[in-house]
Amino acid sequence: MIDPSRRLSIAILAHSTNPRGGVVHALELADALTLLGHEAVVHAPDSHGRGFFRTPLTPAVTVMAAPVGHDVAEMVEARIADYLRHFDKPAHRDFDVFHAQDSISGNALAVLKQRGLIPAFARTVHHIDQFADPRLAKWQDRAIAAADELFVVSRMWQQTLQVEFGRTSVVVGNGVDTNRFSAARAAEDAEIAARYDIGDGPVLLAIGGVEARKNTVAIVAAFQQLLAIHPDAQLVIAGGASLLDHADYQRGFETIVRSSPALERAVLRLGPVKDADMPSLYRLAKALVFPSLKEGFGLVVLEAMASGTPVVTSRIVPFTEYLGDNDVVWCDPLNVGSIANAMMTVISEPLHSRLKRLGVLVARQFDWSRTAEAHLPFYHALTERQHA
């Protein structure tokens, strides 16, 4: 018999301590579960020894990470081994539920289950990648196939898992902390603008660094068209702490930027920024430009909207699942002209002010406690399975 009131201890495993969408989801989920009365401990390999970019309510566990080179498959294999060394100690496995947020931790838990060291585990599939390296593809498939419960953040990935893996899954969605991400101006906004050299002209913010999946080359090409009309505009690109190698794509991006003195002046590539600076960056921006080619959910869209920052995004799933026709300015991510037109539209009045007000209302519909509660019946089912 499942006791829904039972307090659970839950190990939530992420692929790194860096500010990526899946890691944010893990930390926010853990905090929401903690506030619901459970013990939720986030784990991740920590190759730099700096800990998580954000401190969760329940102290996190940083797993000692062995040094590796630049080969992605070797890095993945090493991080799986890091997790296995950590959980080889019985004291480190003293949890009711094990929940992987990615393929690295999913493979580690699959091995632990195979060895009989844990009875079962859950896995959240944020998105599925296409890998040329067969080792990466095999690990990705195994982390899905071996899981006892599967969660997804959108219906698109629920359908993908059913078609490609024959697996059912639970849509848990995402949330946004509307206390942290707010449209209310803060004293630190001006200091952060000065620190990053952000001016008064229309500021277009892109999140996720310079990556093909984030469509950054198309963003800068579209911004170049906007710059011809708004010469005081800036494109601020934040983030980019990825485990994958994007060097070739980034070289192409830099070539485009360096080809134009105007672009060189107007494009600010910040790299990973302090987590505490993100609310101010959103508020300083006239709009978030997020014409991504593929996302699990696109959590930054909700963060921007909660901050009163209008959004340009791709008219593709999963965005079309949770955003209405008039909630954002839509674009075709494969068409630079469409992205440029959307940039021009989003900063124009009266639309900009309407989207600013509407975005705050839309963001309030997404609550992390609701996301956490959606996990609990399946967590309890896993614990019952252990004792059956």
> Over the stretch 151-174, which tens digit does the pLDDT of each residue have?
999 999 999 999 999 999 999 999
Residues 33 and 146 in one domain: yes
Q: What are phi and psi of 185, to 5 degrees?
A: -60, 145
Residues 359 and 371 in one domain: no
pTM for the predicted model, two decimal places: 0.90
Residues 327 and 197 in one domain: yes
CA-to-CA distance for 139 and 197, rounded, in angstroms? 42
Residues 371 and 324 in one domain: no
Q: Examine the pLDDT at 387 and tell me if it is beyond 90.
A: no
Using 50, 70 and 90 to split pLDDT, how confident is the model at 386? Answer: low
Q: Examine the pLDDT at 1 and tell me if it is beyond 60.
A: no
CA-to-CA distance for 62 and 103, rounded, in angstroms? 18
Closest alpha carbon to 121 in 11, 267, 14, 221: 11
Amino acid at the residue 92: H
Q: What are phi and psi of 154, to 5 degrees?
A: -150, 160
Q: What is the pLDDT of residue 385?
A: 73
- Chain segment 343-364, per-residue pLDDT in tens: 999 999 999 999 999 999 999 9
Q: What are phi and psi of 113, to 5 degrees?
A: -65, -45
Q: What is the pLDDT of residue 225?
A: 95
**Mean pLDDT, range 312-331, rounded to an integer:** 97
- Chain segment 294-304, per-residue pLDDT in tens: 998 999 999 99
In a domain, 182, yes or no: no
In percent, how much of the chain has pLDDT > 70? 97
In percent, how much of the chain has pLDDT > 90? 83
In a domain, 381, yes or no: yes
Q: Examine the pLDDT at 193 and tell me if it is beyond 90.
A: yes
More confident residue, 147 or 271: 147
Instruction: Give 42's strand partners.
Output: 12
Residues 290 and 229 in one domain: yes
CA-to-CA distance for 223 and 233, rounded, in angstroms? 9
Interstrand relation of 97-100 and 9-13 (parallel, antiparallel or unpaired): parallel
Which spans in the chain are helix H?
21-35, 72-87, 103-114, 134-145, 155-165, 188-195, 216-229, 247-258, 261-266, 278-284, 299-306, 319-322, 336-346, 351-363, 368-387
In a domain, 180, yes or no: no
Instruction: Give 62's strand partners.
Output: 44
The CA-atom distances, in angstroms, between 311 and each of 178, 333, 339, 343 are 17, 14, 12, 9
Are 321 and 344 in contact by the 8 Å Cβ rule? The answer is no
234 contacts: CB under 8 Å, gap ≥ 6: 198, 199, 201, 202, 203, 204, 266, 267, 268
Q: What is the pLDDT of residue 2?
A: 62
In a domain, 4, yes or no: no
Q: What is the pLDDT of residue 241?
A: 60
Residues 142 and 16 in one domain: yes
In a domain, 181, yes or no: no
> Which residue reads 């294999």 in tokens?
77
Residues 298 and 335 in one domain: yes
Using 50, 70 and 90 to split pLDDT, how confident is the model at 243? Answer: low
Q: What is the mean pLDDT of the chain?
A: 94
| Diameter of the chain measured on Cα atoms | 68
Q: What is the pLDDT of residue 240?
A: 72
Domain count, the chain: 2
**Mean pLDDT, range 263-287, rounded to an integer:** 94
Q: What is the pLDDT of residue 5?
A: 76
Using 50, 70 and 90 to split pLDDT, how confident is the model at 78? Answer: very high
Residues 162 and 219 in one domain: no
The CA-atom distances, in angstroms, between 180 and each of 158, 282, 383 are 30, 11, 33
List the CATH number of the domain containing 260.
3.40.50.2000
> Which residue reads 């963001």 in tokens?
363
Residue 154 gets the label, from left (phi > 0), alpha (psi -120 to 50) or beta, of beta
Peptide bond before 67: cis, by omega within 30 degrees of 0? no
Range of the domain at 322: 188-363
Residues 119 and 214 in one domain: no
Q: Examine the pLDDT at 119 and tell me if it is beyond 90.
A: yes
In a domain, 2, yes or no: no
In a domain, 47, yes or no: yes
**Mean pLDDT, range 61-66, rounded to an integer:** 95
Residues 201 and 72 in one domain: no
Closest alpha carbon to 125 in 87, 97, 95, 155: 155
In a domain, 1, yes or no: no
Residues 171 and 31 in one domain: yes
Amino acid at the residue 94: D
> Which residue reads 């980034």 in tokens?
250
Q: What is the pLDDT of residue 143?
A: 98
Residues 228 and 86 in one domain: no
Are 204 and 223 in contact by the 8 Å Cβ rule? The answer is yes
* R_g (Cα) of the chain, nearest Å: 21
Are 241 and 272 in contact by the 8 Å Cβ rule? The answer is yes
